[in-house]
Structure 1
Amino acid sequence: MTAESPRSDCRILVADDDPAMVSMLADGLAELGYAVVTATSAPDAIRLARDSTIDVLVTDLRMPEVDGIELLALSKRIAPERPVLVMTAFGAIDTAMESLRKGAHHYLLKPFKVAELDLYIRRALEQRALRQETRTLKRAFHDRYGMDSLVAESGAMQEVRDLVERVADADIPVLLVGETGTGKGLVARVLHAHGTRSAGPFVAVNCAALPENLLESELFGHVKGAFTGATANRAGLFVEADGGTLFLDEIGDMAPALQAKLLDVLERRVVRAVGSAREREVDVRIVSATHRDLPARVASGQFREDLRYRLEGIAIAIPPLRHRRDDIARLASRFLADARSASPKAVVDRFSTEAMTQLLEYGWPGNVRELQHAVARAVVLGRSAEAVAADLPPAIVERRSRRASVDFGDEIIPVRELQRRYAAWALERVGGRKAMACEKLGIDGKTLNKWLANSDD
């Protein structure tokens, strides 16, 4: 129930040995629209408290035969989520405080107005609804990111899934490494969903997407006035993730100065907001990811070696899609179902043999993300139940026409021809993207063009 929802949806039990008090509260609450049941004796109070349809219990603290503390305990056993409000006289404050420790939502000192009781009832129900919604969202998160969400027909991914299963419960940092688009974010969420912190929050941030000063504020928080534009206090992502998991995506791109502050937080488990002199303890599990070669960045001075070791409690390498071709068909089917859900008017429900062959043979330089986009495109553009090759992106369709070969058989060829064929083959494998081909080959663009042209110039 929210503040705007009908009060008639809520059944309230009012229990007090004073009939006049019960009558006054029942009449007042009924006028506000609540459905009210009453009890002025211990047997009635116990019988009605066992009724699971009662939404809120309002009980006097001191009654003959059974007191409010006992009724509170009974209610918590029968309906743990049911809010209990305790009424008490001024002289019983200590007992009222005890009721709070035992799970009562609030206590009210007699005499009080019905409007005050109404306020606490609505607050209690709103908090219960929020807790229920949070649990629902957490269950949905767990269901969405079950182990089956990691498609693992291939041996390479079966090894990844096995490792994820083994380290999910281990409360140590995990570093996910792999090319862009391989699914590192999905693995991070699966780790959280199956770990001991699954009941806590999962908070993600892309360290490459924000400038250094903004990322510092996002991670550690800031106080009002700490810098221009800081118009209010902000807790920061470490605090938001307290009790759960903080996913630091693209950690290899973090600025060196920020790496030092991150290392300090990880070592001491305290965070200090920008502009604040106070530290706050945090308890988070760190899962980080990068497509960078961290050892190379350490060697070049771009990444702290001590931070690398702190993050790399367990390293999990996510294979590129070209190394897990046995997963392509199942991934494509899953993405097709997702795309159909997003486009209810789409008619495509399967791939033609030719289209699937093209998906299986393509090099996928953009990895799983590129496959997902290719399938979504085919679903949107397809004009029949069967997606054909022409519905796929041009980079995939045109691949065969410019297919290169590195199979020389028994032929002995000049080194220049070897360079040309190998460069053409590598370029094809990365979907014609010269920058990526240069990175894979370890050469610059000028050298790649020379190889492709078979030129000595």
Structure 2
Amino acid sequence: MKRHARILVIDDHEEMVELLAEQLRDEEFIVDVSTDGRTALVLAIERLPDLVITDLRMRGFDGFDVLKAFKELDPDLPVLIMTAFGGVDSAVEAIKQGAAHYFTKPFRLDEVLIWVNRALEARSMQSENRRLRAERSQGIDRFVGQSAAMQRLRERIGKISSVDAPVLIRGESGTGKELVARAIHEAGLRAAAPFVAVNCTSLPQELLESELFGHAKGAFTGAANARRGLFLEADGGTLFLDEIGDMPAELQAKLLRVLQEKEIRPVGSDASRKVDVRIIAATHQPLEELIKSGKFREDLFFRLDVLNVQVPALRERREDIETLTRHFFDKYRVEFKSSVRELPSELLERFLRAPWAGNVRELENAVQRYVILGEFDPVQSHAEDSAPLDLFNLREVEDRHIRRVLDYCGGNKTQAAELLGIDASTIHRKLSRP
């Protein structure tokens, strides 16, 4: 029973109103009463009830008028109709017009309570569904920018999110492919289940296989305990395989088998286990070229490319650069408690002209660097048209930015990785590049 819900009882017979109100209060409901439909509407505007119980036959503003007025006030507000036995036909008509249920006078309290609780539970579920839809829509709405390219991306995500099939996301590095994958998951049928992500380039083959499929105890040196693996962690939800083009050939074959058989076999185990996982894969590489060179399986490609999304490069949505820059500036100014209060117009102009080969990630890093270190030379801002600037060399930006954030964190790679939004292993890999 939904205790403490507010119920409004309307009947032009005062004795009936007070009798029902007293019985409902005994059940710990909050009850307002009225003997006039119009007065009840004014009362409801001041204190919106969770449920309305109204007599059908009343002088002047009758039950049909009440039903119509309250449905205009709140379309989801449940309205229960009371009627004498001879008014059943009219009560049925009220149901057609949106009433939740009707009961006849004289009635038993236990009968009323059944329909009160059912109506309140239905209202609660409607509210929860609206909340979930709002949360899911945030997955799409979190994309910053109103360019035509971003509007098409949001529309594409909305179309494919409710179709429970594999998705292949394509786009250059730094465009936000994982963000797209999360939005698809959060707007889809599996939103309440886990979203698990793994980068296929971050681990060697042996560890990646164990990471994906799990392993049995003693399967290899160091396997002191059994491991579930990411497929089981994502069971019922979504597994995001980033940079699928870098997956080793042997693992490609095993992934294909999982897609076909819907089951996995942990490393070192003879037993298979069923899994229910939606696969979303992403790549910045042209998989068709990898197929021609024998580096990617064509049959796996067709299994993954059931639904596809192309994430636009930043140069294809340049009208979003200013919005993105201001968004990241506000975000990191608060996060790092920076004393910087304004975004220099010279910096913004420089950003608007930059090529952004690293896309949104490169832009974000540049803004983050300015907020943390305050490094910006306005004199150089006029030189981009004649020569490329070191700031916009992606590898140099990444390396310098990572080192400075490491310094900021006192050399703590785990803390630096959290600030950068990457794995600690990625820091080591990027800084050890030749």
Following superposition, which runs of at least 4 residues in structure 1 exceed 6 angstroms of deviation? 49-52, 76-80, 138-141, 427-430
Which structure 2 residues correspond to residues 292-307 of structure 1 after superposition, within 5 A? 292-307=285-300
Helix, strand or coil for the counterpart of 1:146?
helix
Tell me if structure 2 keeps the 8 A contact 1:152–1:161.
no
The corresponding residue for 1:357 is 349
**Percent of pairs with identical residues:** 47
Q: Which moved more, 1:325-334 or 1:349-358?
A: 349-358
Tell me if structure 2 keeps the 8 A contact 1:175–1:316.
yes
Distance across 1 between alignment mates of 2:133 and 2:369: 27
Tell me if structure 1 keeps the 8 A contact 2:243–2:282.
yes
Distance across 1 between alignment mates of 2:358 and 2:227: 36
Tell me if structure 1 keeps the 8 A contact 2:136–2:183.
no
Distance across 2 between alignment mates of 1:347 and 1:430: 22
Distance across 1 between alignment mates of 2:197 and 2:188: 16
Distance across 1 between alignment mates of 2:391 and 2:290: 24
Tell me if structure 2 keeps the 8 A contact 1:336–1:349.
no
1:157 corresponds to 2:139: no
Match of 1:173 among 161, 166, 172: 166
Helix, strand or coil for the counterpart of 1:175?
strand
What whole-Å deviation, never above 9, does each CA across 1:351-402 have from its counterpart, x for those lacking one?
Answer: 22221111111001111111111111222234xxxxxxxx44x7x9747425
TM-score (norm 1): 0.56
The alpha carbon displacement at 1:154 in A equals 1.6
Q: Which moved more, 1:310-319 or 1:206-215?
A: 310-319
The corresponding residue for 1:328 is 321
Match of 1:148 among 141, 150, 159: 141
The corresponding residue for 1:7 is none
Cα 1:78–1:170, aligned 2, differ >3 Å: closer, same or farther? closer
Tell me if structure 2 keeps the 8 A contact 1:335–1:375.
yes
The corresponding residue for 2:383 is 401
Distance across 2 between alignment mates of 1:233 and 1:434: 39
Match of 1:242 among 232, 235, 239: 235
Tell me if structure 2 keeps the 8 A contact 1:145–1:186.
no
Match of 1:284 among 277, 280, 285: 277
The corresponding residue for 2:363 is 371
Aligned CA RMSD, in angstroms, stands at 3.7
What whole-Å deviation, never above 9, does each CA across 1:191-222 have from its counterpart, x for those lacking one?
Answer: 11110100000000001000001000010111
Residue type at the aligned position of 1:372 = E
The alpha carbon displacement at 1:153 in A equals 1.8
Distance across 2 between alignment mates of 1:256 and 1:322: 33
The corresponding residue for 2:95 is none
Which structure 2 residues correspond to residues 176-325 of structure 1 after superposition, within 5 A? 176-325=169-318
Cα 1:231–1:283, aligned 2, differ >3 Å: closer, same or farther? same
Distance across 1 between alignment mates of 2:302 and 2:277: 17
Cα 1:302–1:51, aligned 2, differ >3 Å: closer, same or farther? farther
Tell me if structure 1 keeps the 8 A contact 2:265–2:273.
yes
Distance across 2 between alignment mates of 1:397 and 1:233: 59
Helix, strand or coil for the counterpart of 1:234?
coil
Cα 1:141–1:230, aligned 2, differ >3 Å: closer, same or farther? farther
Distance across 2 between alignment mates of 1:272 and 1:209: 22
Helix, strand or coil for the counterpart of 1:351?
coil
Cα 1:176–1:353, aligned 2, differ >3 Å: closer, same or farther? same
TM-score (norm 2): 0.59
**How many pairs are equivalent?**
287
The corresponding residue for 1:4 is none
Tell me if structure 2 keeps the 8 A contact 1:222–1:235.
yes
Cα 1:192–1:143, aligned 2, differ >3 Å: closer, same or farther? closer
The corresponding residue for 2:45 is none
Tell me if structure 2 keeps the 8 A contact 1:365–1:429.
no
The alpha carbon displacement at 1:271 in A equals 0.7
The alpha carbon displacement at 1:279 in A equals 1.1
The alpha carbon displacement at 1:276 in A equals 1.1
Distance across 1 between alignment mates of 2:384 and 2:311: 29
Name structure 1 gaps, 5 residues minimum: 1-46, 53-72, 81-134, 383-390, 405-423, 436-457
Distance across 1 between alignment mates of 2:248 and 2:213: 15
Which structure 2 residues correspond to residues 6-17 of structure 1 after superposition, within 5 A? none
